[in-house]
């Protein structure tokens, strides 16, 4: 077993057990983003199904400052961690207990690594459908704000559960997604609002960032995979018994309950 696999097994063990670790031991801890991604790649050993997709964390300056990273980071969405729209997400062992309202995109064709960066237009041309989405992040570190970007990447960029809403029937390509206002609520308890520009200035820009981040580490984004581009609403605290609903009018909505 190499260093990267050993580090991943340690983190996945805590993920499965619902327990926390202060950080990876020095002999296993990554010191660069590339080393973090090499560890993260082994998380697929946990999954018996093809990769569902990718997520982006820290797409706002406030989010980057909160977890002490200098820019966005990417993580995997495992098929076993996907919750059906309107379904129930268990959070008994969750440390974060947040719902994040996000722009989701499913891809129609592969985008393999290449030397030249992909443009936003090229990336959008490869998209099959738009989906309102909710990410339910979590970390296996007891203080995820202190470990740094490389270790956060190794820990799947705080990836955990994910809810994919239905593909919109509206012409999402004709809409300025940066200006799109998004509404969310914890039913009976609180109301929340956001805008697409909260996601790296434009969720389409974030989408291209993700594709180019993968290209830079030699990873292909495959047809059928989903990318969720980071929260456009300030993360919403949740607890067992809550229901969160989000509306991307006129692009549809998505909801999830917590148990």
214 closest CA partner among 227, 224, 233, 196:
227
State the residue for tokens 């909710």. 134
Is there a contact between 220 and 214 (Cβ–Cβ < 8 Å)?
yes
CA–CA distance, 63 with 189 (Å, rounded to integer): 24
Which residues on neighbouring strands pair with residue 127, listed in sequence order?
107
Selecting from 3.90.850.10, 3.20.20.70, 2.60.40.10, 3.40.50.2000, what CATH number does the domain 3-258 have? 3.90.850.10
Query: Burial code of 212-241, b = ≥16 C-beta within 10 A, e = fewer?
Result: bbbbebebebeeebbbbbbbbbbbbebeee
- What does the mean pLDDT of the chain come to? 97
Q: What is the DSSP letter of 34?
A: H
Confidence of residue 146 (pLDDT cuts 50, 70, 90): very high
State the residue for tokens 């998004």. 182
73 closest CA partner among 213, 192, 250, 190:
213
CA–CA distance, 141 with 146 (Å, rounded to integer): 9
Confidence of residue 186 (pLDDT cuts 50, 70, 90): very high
- The pLDDT of 6-27, averaged and rounded, is 97
CA–CA distance, 246 with 185 (Å, rounded to integer): 7
- The pLDDT of 18-41, averaged and rounded, is 97
CA–CA distance, 185 with 101 (Å, rounded to integer): 10
CA–CA distance, 143 with 99 (Å, rounded to integer): 19
pLDDT in tens, 67-104: 889 899 999 999 999 999 999 999 999 999 999 999 99
pTM comes to: 0.96
pLDDT in tens, 40-73: 999 999 999 999 999 999 998 777 887 889 899 9
CA–CA distance, 115 with 75 (Å, rounded to integer): 22
172 closest CA partner among 208, 209, 203:
203
pLDDT of residue 3: 96
Locate the domains of the chain by residue range.
Answer: 3-258
Q: Report the share of the chain in percent with pLDDT over 90.
A: 95
């Amino acid at each position: 077993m190499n260093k990267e696999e050993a580090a991943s097994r340690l983190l996945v063990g805590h993920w499965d057990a619902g327990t926390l670790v202060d950080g990876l031991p020095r002999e296993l801890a990554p010191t660069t983003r590339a080393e973090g991604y090499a560890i993260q790649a082994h998380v697929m050993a946990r999954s018996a199904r093809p990769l569902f997709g990718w997520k982006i964390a820290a797409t706002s300056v406030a989010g980057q400052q909160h977890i002490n990273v200098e820019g966005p980071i990417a993580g995997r969405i495992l098929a076993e961690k996907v919750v059906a729209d309107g379904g129930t997400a268990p959070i008994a062992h969750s440390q974060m207990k947040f719902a994040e309202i996000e722009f989701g995109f499913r891809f129609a064709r592969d985008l393999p690594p290449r030397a030249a960066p992909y443009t936003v237009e090229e990336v959008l041309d490869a998209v099959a459908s738009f989906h309102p989405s909710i990410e339910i992040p979590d970390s296996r570190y007891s203080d995820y704000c202190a470990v740094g970007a490389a270790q956060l990447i190794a820990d799947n960029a705080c990836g955990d559960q994910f809810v994919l809403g239905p593909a919109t029937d509206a012409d999402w390509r004709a809409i300025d997604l940066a200006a799109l206002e998004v509404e969310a609520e914890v039913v009976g308890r609180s109301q929340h609002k956001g805008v697409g520009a909260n996601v790296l200035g434009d969720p389409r820009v974030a989408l291209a960032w993700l594709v180019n981040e993968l290209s830079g580490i030699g990873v292909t984004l495959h047809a059928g995979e989903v990318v969720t581009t980071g929260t456009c609403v300030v993360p919403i605290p949740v607890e067992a018994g809550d229901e969160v609903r989000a509306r991307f009018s006129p692009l549809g909505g998505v909801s999830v309950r917590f148990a």
